[in-house]
Chain A
Amino acid sequence: MTSTLRAAPAPTVTADVAVAVRGLTRSFGARAVLNGLDLEVRRREFVALLGRSGSGKSTILRALAGLDPSAQGSILVPARRSVVYQEPRLLPWAKVLPNVTLGIEGQDADERGRTALREVGLEGHENDWPKTLSGGEAQRVSLARALVRQPELLLLDEPFGALDALTRIRMHALVVRLCQRHHPAVLLVTHDVDEAILLADRVLVLKEGRLSLDRPVDVASPRLRSDPAFNELRSLLLHELGVHEPTGPTGPTGPPS
């Protein structure tokens, strides 16, 4: 099931495609943040979108979420989409379970919500107020709220950005596990190169309004930072992002020119 957000000449899309974006352009004043961007995400594919701050990563994500009526171009996305933001965005006046089931109709809504909470390891927190949750717990509730809708496209807008390093590692594992079970197409917006390589099947770099790099992540699983392939891709991405990292004393894996 695919819905079109924009009236445009329908591009030919195969059944395997979850996201098909053609010529996406978005200007803020005179500045074109996105300039004729093309993007395709296959079903069940986990794609990480990297870019420097202000490069328009979140603009793409907002457009795919259907929140930007001013974007131009053609956007094809599934009807069932969920977004997880950097901040959990839980309604403070609703307890955990109604936060998860927000907007879900039907008699089994509560049961589905409980199942989703169990999946993120928050069984027994159904009747807690959001103010009593830690940052990591709140973000897991937000993840449960996204998954309970059984999204075909999961949009992650730097969802680990505000978490402490230890919680982030556990959240990475949780997201990988959940995506393997529910297999939505995922677009993860992040500025963390390591995170992108650890989680994604494919990494994209957004530069000057277009995708300047599109590379599959060919790093053996489990992905380890000590893997030379990991480091090679890492250097490539950092270079593409304009960061010239110093090489460690153990061996040069400098950016290819």
Chain B
Amino acid sequence: MTLTTPNADVRETFELTEAPDIGAREVEPAALVQLPTARPAPHPGRRRSRFRGSQRLLGVVALVAAWELASAVGVLHPQELAAPTAVLSTGAHLVANGTLESALWASLQRVFWGLVIGVPAGAALALASGLSRTGENLIDGNVQMLRFVPIIGLESLFVLWLGVGQTAKVAMITLGVVFPIYINTYAAIRTIDPAFHELATVIGLTRWGRVRRVVLPAALPGFLVGLRLAVAVAWLLLVFAEQINASSGLGYLIVEAQTYFQSNVIVVCLACYAVLGLLTDVLVRRMESVCLRWQPGR
């Protein structure tokens, strides 16, 4: 079919291929459907979240109750897994005689130093690699290769080099922290929208101005993702390092308790690890919500 518009000024004609006619079929009008909408309520959001919260709490309570019941009727032997009430009284006892406090302190110090050294190191490497080609050539290949070496496997080397003291444990945590920080920060720097770099050029930002106003803020979200991973890795490596050869810390308490079949002490220590891990994660999330207020959707 050749279609020509009635207008003489249009000199172009359009060749249209014959298509089967689908437009003319009569359709019976169907009944309308009712879409779900919100009913007016005084505090709909709060009520729902409270209901949800209490339901989640109920799940936890049910699990602990089942655990207590299983211990009470003798399904769970105290040497395999102590009852929740026994764990609580053990915890109180360990706090009272100061054992838990000194173990916690030793563990916290290792994680603290591991993060304090590892996070800046990872960030510095990422910046050196992300800001200069030379840095990238020298650093990135090495990091990408080394990150496949299992860090736990390096424990033996660390002991050979640094002995069984505090330094070896901190060194392992430090190394474990460097990789997630480096990889996420470096990726964030490399994926900065080229439009922003172009803007910096047109505006005539100095090199330092570009780093401060464009590169660092753009890398921050990636860095914080790395930090959350790094904190998780730090606790994981701590547990491992303390259970191999330590004379203090939560992991040492666990190993000792294992020798004397004190499952209640083991559970207390595991609960401490969990709470500490949770607290540090909450801390990093809080940092994210403060530092990344500018992000859409926050």
Contacts and interface: CB of A to CB of B under 8 A. Distances in A.
Interface of A: 65-67, 81-83, 85, 87, 89, 91-94, 98, 102-103, 129-131, 145, 149, 244-247, 252, 254
Interface in B212-269: 213-214, 217-218, 220
B115 to A, nearest CB: 24
B149 interface: no
B202 A82 contact: yes
A247 B196 CA distance: 44
A62 to B, nearest CB: 9
B204 interface: yes
Contacts of B195: 85, 87, 89
Given A67-B202, A103-B209, A91 B10 contact: no
A187 B165 CA distance: 69
A92 B9 contact: no
Contacts of A89: 195-196, 199
B292 to A, nearest CB: 8
A180 to B, nearest CB: 24
A247 B199 CA distance: 43
Contact of B204 (A91, A103, A129, A145): A103
Contacts of A244: 9-12
17 contacts: A65-B202, A66-B201, A67-B198, A89-B195, A91-B199, A91-B213, A93-B220, A94-B294, A102-B203, A102-B205, A102-B213, A103-B203, A103-B209, A131-B295, A244-B11, A245-B9, A247-B9
Contact of A254 (B9, B200, B220, B294): B9
Nearest to B203: A103
Contacts of A66: 201-202
Contacts, number: 62
B59 interface: no
B296 interface: yes
B294 to A, nearest CB: 5
A130 B10 contact: no
A246 B12 CA distance: 11
B293 A91 contact: no
A98 B196 CA distance: 15
A229 to B, nearest CB: 20
Given A102-B213, A103-B209, A246 B7 contact: yes
Contact of A93 (B9, B202, B217): B217
Nearest to B201: A67
A197 B5 CA distance: 28
Interface string B270-298: 00000000000000000000000111100
A35 to B, nearest CB: 25
Given A91-B213, A102-B205, A131 B11 contact: no
A93 B200 CA distance: 14
A167 B72 CA distance: 74
Nearest to A155: B202
A83 B202 contact: yes
Nearest to A93: B217
Contacts of A131: 294-296
Contact of A92 (B12, B204, B206, B295): B295
Interface hub of B5, B7, B205 (most chain A Cβ within 10 A): B7
A130 to B, nearest CB: 7
Most central of A66, A103, A244, A254 by chain B CB within 10 Å: A103
Given A89-B196, A98-B213, A246-B10, 6 more contacts: A67-B198, A91-B196, A93-B220, A94-B294, A103-B205, A149-B203
Nearest to A82: B202
Contacts of A149: 203
Contacts of B295: 92, 131
B221 to A, nearest CB: 9
A83 B199 CA distance: 9
B154 to A, nearest CB: 37
Given A89-B195, A93-B220, A247 B203 contact: no
A83 B201 CA distance: 11
A16 B199 CA distance: 28
A158 to B, nearest CB: 14
A131 B10 CA distance: 45
A52 B202 CA distance: 25
A147 to B, nearest CB: 13
A246 B217 CA distance: 52
A252 B204 CA distance: 51
B281 to A, nearest CB: 24
Nearest to A98: B213
B180 to A, nearest CB: 22
Contact of B9 (A82, A103, A130, A246): A246
B294 A130 contact: yes
B213 A94 contact: yes
